Each structure stands twice: as C-alpha cells, then as structure tokens.
Structure 1
Amino acid sequence: MDSLKPVARPRLYETVARQIVTWMSDNEVRPGDRLPPERELAVKLGVSRATISQALVAMEVVGAISVRHGDGAIVTSLSADVKLVEAIREHAQRLPDILDARDALESKLAALAAERRTEADMAAIDAALDFMLSELDAGERGVDGDERFHAAVTQAAHSQLLAKLMGEISGLIRETRVESLGQPGRPRESMIQHRTVAEAIRAGDPALAAAAMHSHLSAIRKGRALGEG
C-alpha cells in the first residue's frame, strides 16, 4: 500500500488543452497555422472563454503556441497530447517554487536598487515602464516590457552574483511572466505595481522598495491561485 499515491485530478484547462491538441492532430495543423478564435473554441468545447484563455496560456508557456496581438494563437510546435499535458502539469507543480525564488531574489534586488541606483539606472527603469505602456496601449500583454523592467531593476542593484542567479532562472521566470500577464486585467495591474516599485527606488527607500516588489510578486501568486479555482 505504501507504493500507492493519490491520483492527480486534471484541471479543466488541462483537459481543454488536450482536446485542442487532439483537434490539431486530427486536422493536420502545422507550425505557423492559426488556431480558431477563443470564442469559437469555447462554443465547440462547451466551456467559458476564460477556461479557453487559460488553456492557451498554458500551451504558450510550454512552447506549443504563440499568442500574437491581431493574429490570435499561432502554432509553434507539435507534440503528442500526453506529453503536452504532462509539460503543463509539471509547469503548474514547479510554479510555486519559482515564485518563492523570485520573491527572495527580486525583493532584495529592489532594496539594493533603492540604495545604489544611478540616474542612468532610473532612466532605464523609466524607459522599460514606457515600453510596457506602449505594448498595453497597442493591445499587447506587455511581456517584453515586463521583462525589461525587472532586468532594469536587477541592473540598478549592481550585484553581480544576484544578477547571475536571476539569469540562471530566467527561463523559469518567463513561465511565470507569460502565465500571469495572460490573465484578464493583469497587465494593467502589473503596470501600476511596477510604477510603485520604481517610485520607491527613486525615493531611495530600500524597505519600501522591497515591500513594493514583494507585494507585486504576491499578486502574481494570488492571481494564479484564483485562476485555478
């Protein structure tokens, strides 16, 4: 009996993702092809658009599709449905650890940035915020701008070792970024939180900067939990 383990119950979006991949295989979909619109998928599968969106985000995280503004979901690679769902499940299981690591590293980086930032560093942080805003205004999710912002904060901390650690988990961090910014309303909320972090760094207040970054990353964790409900 010791060898028996609880059976993992698949989340609804995992089942939906598998259905989509099966449809892709049955219809000989190839990389570069476009998936049907979310509204159509929701009707065909009998689920909400929110569930479809969550399934597509999960597929994007593991590299099966790319979601582009104005183009919809574009297939980037093909994989057996079992392998895809396994990859999605593995991502879901490791995400809490990734967020813990981000919180520990980036809260400290924000505090150091408040102490050590130069005018050039602040200019880079402001430029990243402007770039993310331009993405959001264009209807994008702001993934590149988000990445630029966190990279600018890391640079402003002037800690080679912490920057190296961030670089080593950059791929894992991108998973959290894509998933978080794929949630409805999240990009604008993230933008506001980024500005709060930036202002604390500008003010030279390490404690406030660390608290602002921690709050930002806690919101990512909370949003993910709500998305799985």
Structure 2
Amino acid sequence: MPVEMIQTKRLFQQVYEQLAGLIAGGEFPLGERLPAERDLARQLGVSRATVREAMIALELSGLVEVRVGAGIFVARDKPLTRGSADEEEIGLGPFEILEARRTIECAVAYFAAQQIQDSDIAELEAALAVMEEEHRTGFKTENGDRSFHVGIARATRNSALVRTVESLWDLKYRAPMWAKLHERVRAALLRPALLSDHWQILEALRRRDPVAARDAMDAHLVQVAEDLLRISEAEFIGEVADEDRQRGRRAVGR
C-alpha cells in the first residue's frame, strides 16, 4: 500500500493551517475580523504564544492584516506564498527561539557563575553600558544585549556554549516572524523595562552564585516572552499598561 512520510509539524503551524483552511472555505470571509487571540487559544486548547505565532505566519503569507486599535482582519482567501508555514519560508517562531534560549542560557548562567573572572564581569558591565546608551538613542541596535548574553557564555570558558548562544541570537535576525513581531512592540517601553533584569543577572554573577544567576536568567527570559505577548497585544488595542511604563522608568533610573 502507498505510504507517506510522517511529518511532525510545529504546533503553531497546525494552528496556521487550520485557520488558513477556514479562511479558504469561507468560514472567515474577506474583510471579517478574526476572533480575539485569547478566545482562539481557549477554543484550540493551545497557548496564546502559539496563536500569536500562527497569526504572524498568516500575516506573512498575506492572509490577514493587523489594524492597530481594531484587530486582525482577513485580507485574502489564498496565501501569497505557497500556502504553508514551513520553516524554510517563515523561519522559526519567536517563542520557539525564546524557549530554546531559556533552556540553554539558564544552564549557561549557572555554569558561568562558577567560572567567571573579574575580566568577564568588566566585559558584562561594558555591555550593559552599551545597552543603556542604546536606550538613550532609541535602541536602533541590540549590540549591547547580544554582547551581554554572549559574554556570559564566554565566562564559561566553553567554546561550544559560546557558539550555541551566538547561534540562538543569530536565529533571531534570520527569522521573518521575529521581525514581524518586533514591528508591533514599542521597543522604548519593552527594552528599558528589562534593563533591570540584566543588572540582577550581573549581580548574581558577581556573587559567584550559580543558583541565583540561573534563576535571574530564567526570570528575565520569562519576562521577555510575557512582555512580547502583552505589549504586542496592547498594540492591537491601542493601549499600553501603566505597569510597563513604571518598569521602564525604574530600569532607566537605576
């Protein structure tokens, strides 16, 4: 009998294909507003992050458009691309990358705290100084942020870990889905709020405390994911929570 190769599809890809099929079948006609992401997540039994990635994939394929302050609307009934959410077309999902970073960089921070030297701490301080300067100039690059995280990997004295962390950061820059998500976040609010997280990681490393360094890194990357969800959703409804403003001011005034 004929057989087909079994394919393991990413979860957001399955959501993308289900929604694309509903659009093509007329369940969501042209110009209609899609249900809220929270409602879709509940109906589909998946996380909001998965739905957000599926929506970005739909947008990249031209099937939907985001109208800030209004929602997500059906723009076409057939995709502009081949009609899939394959990795070769749209790259890795932003929350996939964050999950990988959380798994690896938390362990790296733990290891680094046991190996770190004063020269490494000076390098991390310099990276944070660059981040603060980038904030003052509008965050046109992520050089300071990348240098900080790669610098922690260097402190392990393990070249394989350095290359792994560098590769994870490079994935971001090659991922169309990550770029599309970042179009809708207000970097001036998101990144300054997270500067304080980096200082907490550095303080744990200064104390040579592996558990504290690991936990501070974990809290940081969890916060990144939560902020990306909350602030990008806030962009859809045209609002920004006061707590984000407060976190940003506290980080800048450190």
Instruction: Normalising by structure 2, report the TM-score.
Output: 0.55
188-197 or 140-149, which deviates more: 140-149
Matched, 1:216 2:220: yes
Contact 1:107–1:210 at 8 Å: present in 2 too? yes
- Please report how far the alpha carbon of residue 189 of structure 1 lies from its aligned counterpart in structure 2 after TM superposition: 1.5
Matched, 1:11 2:51: no
Matched, 1:82 2:80: yes
Aligned residues: 173
Percent identical pairs in the alignment equals 23
Contact 2:113–2:205 at 8 Å: present in 1 too? yes
**Equivalent position amino acid for 1:97 in 2:** E
Q: Distance in 1 between matches of 2:59 and 2:107?
A: 39
Deviations 1:11-48 (A, max 9, x none): 389659959xxxxxxxxxxxxxxxxxxxxxxxxx9933
Deviations 1:89-143 (A, max 9, x none): 9658633322221111100111112111111100100000000100101122551
**Equivalent position amino acid for 2:214 in 1:** A
* Alignment CA distance shift 1:161-1:12 (3 Å): closer
Q: Distance in 2 between matches of 1:181 and 1:212?
A: 27
Q: Distance in 1 between matches of 2:123 and 2:161?
A: 19
**Equivalent position amino acid for 1:110 in 2:** A
* Alignment CA distance shift 1:46-1:14 (3 Å): closer
Deviations 1:190-221 (A, max 9, x none): 21111111111111110000001001111122
Matched, 1:159 2:158: yes
Q: CA RMSD in A?
A: 3.9
Q: Residue 204 of structure 1 aligns to a residue in which SS?
A: coil
Q: Gaps (5+ residues) in structure 1?
A: 20-44, 52-80
Question: Partner of 2:67 in structure 1?
Answer: 47
**Equivalent position amino acid for 1:7 in 2:** L
Question: Partner of 1:105 in structure 2?
Answer: 104
* Alignment CA distance shift 1:49-1:191 (3 Å): farther
Q: Residue 11 of structure 1 aligns to a residue in which SS?
A: helix
**Equivalent position amino acid for 1:140 in 2:** F
* Alignment CA distance shift 1:16-1:159 (3 Å): closer
- Please report how far the alpha carbon of residue 182 of structure 1 lies from its aligned counterpart in structure 2 after TM superposition: 6.5
Deviations 1:139-173 (A, max 9, x none): 22551111111111111122222223223333224
Q: Distance in 2 between matches of 1:124 and 1:182?
A: 32
Q: Residue 104 of structure 1 aligns to a residue in which SS?
A: helix
Question: Partner of 2:185 in structure 1?
Answer: 183
* Alignment CA distance shift 1:49-1:155 (3 Å): farther
Structure 1 or 2, whichever has the larger Rg, is: 2
Question: Partner of 2:207 in structure 1?
Answer: 203
155-164 or 205-214, which deviates more: 155-164
Q: Gaps (5+ residues) in structure 2?
A: 1-13, 24-53, 72-78, 237-254
Once the two structures are superposed, the pairs formed by residues 55-134 of structure 1 within 5 Å of their partners are: 82-83=80-81, 91=90, 94-134=93-133
10-19 or 155-164, which deviates more: 10-19
